[in-house]
Structure 1
Amino acid sequence: MLVAMTVPAPALFGSGTARTAEPIPVILYKNPSCTCCEAYAQYLDENGFQVDVRPTNDLAEISRKAGIPENLEGCHTSFIGGYVVDGHVPVNTIRKLLDEKPAIAGITLPGMPPGVPGMGGEKTGPLTIYAVSNDGTPPRVFAVD
């Protein structure tokens, strides 16, 4: 005689089975007519973030108040885990920021380089992502991707 038995999944696979992580919330401010920002938001969504896109005509002011120097502004400004993330920063660099939790205001990838997440074209070289401070010290290199 066969006896059917239900065994909970943890018993079959051990207690170390991976759980789906909660998405990381993001507020992304962008120019209302910018389509690359929409593509970047989709990229974040596909990589474990939950993006709330907020079109605005005050993007430069938002970046400035967040501590991003004008010469280092990206094409949109996001707030993630208590940090400002300006521009098309790759998710591996965002995860580094969130894992290390440095005492900075945030990070920025200036401009709109080709081949970055959300932008078309071929990547032409390494991307320099800068850390911006809370205390007025000059920006410094945070990561090169």
Structure 2
Amino acid sequence: MAQAAAPIVQVWKDPNCGCCKDWIAHLEKSGFRTQAFDTGNTAMRRRLGMPESLGSCHTALVDGYVIEGHVPAREMHRLLKERPKALGLSVPRMPVGTPGMDGPEYGGRKDPYDVLLVARDGTSTVYQSYT
């Protein structure tokens, strides 16, 4: 049986953002295909309905789900497997230690953070905690 093609993750980001490029590389290493748009993400975040309070430096779309910020590929694979009724996932702001925010310039520091499952009404619950 043929394996299904890897999902394409469309990413809207600032063209000069290094951590966004590192997050995209993390996704590609984890089996996703990517398509980047260097137009910034604020307008796309609004258009897709992700609350500003959950915002970060890039906004993505994969198989109908909005992904905001430095969400680990592991949780994106889980989301696509479980398929909850939700808008998508968010890691608000830019916590050090998240994928893309884990380069050598951070000296191995890892801040605790939560991956949030965001409902279509903008409310959120913790999907996965990282400590």
> Which TM-score band applies after superposition, normalised by the shorter structure?
0.7 to 0.9
Residue 21 of structure 1 deviates from its aligned partner by 5.5
Correspondent of 1:82 among 61, 64, 78: 64
Q: Which amino acid counterpart does residue 108 of structure 1 have in structure 2?
A: S
- Give 3-state SS (helix, strand or coil) of 1:27's partner: strand
Q: 1:100 aligns with which of 78, 82, 85?
A: 82
- Alignment counterpart, residue 119 of structure 2, candidates 118, 122, 133: 133
Return the TM-score normalized by structure 1: 0.79
Gaps of 5+ in 2: none
- Structure 2 matches for 1:51-62, cutoff 5 A? 51-57=34-40, 59-62=41-44
Aligned twin of 2:46? 64
Q: Encode CA deviations 1:82-126: one digit per residue, 9 max, x unaligned.
A: 10011110111111111110011111000111111111322122x
Q: Equivalents in 2 of 1:100, 1:48: separation in Å? A: 17
Does the aligned pair in 2 maintain the 1:29–1:54 contact within 8 Å?
yes
| Distance (Å, rounded) in 2 between the aligned partners of 1:78 and 1:115 | 20
Q: How much is the aligned-residue C-alpha RMSD, in angstroms? A: 1.8
The answer to whether 1:44 aligns with 2:30 is no
The answer to whether 1:118 aligns with 2:105 is no
**Which entry has the higher C-alpha Rg, 1 or 2?**
1
Moved over 4 A (4+): none
Q: 2:17 aligned with 1:31, yes or no?
A: no
CA offset at residue 66 of structure 1?
Answer: 1.5
Q: Would you say how many aligned residue pairs link Structure 1 and Structure 2?
A: 125
Higher strand proportion: 2
TM-score by length of 2: 0.86
Contact in 1 for aligned 2:51/2:122 (Cα 8 Å): no
Q: State how far apart, in whole Å, the 1-side matches of 2:81 and 2:22 are.
A: 25
Instruction: Report % sequence identity.
Output: 34
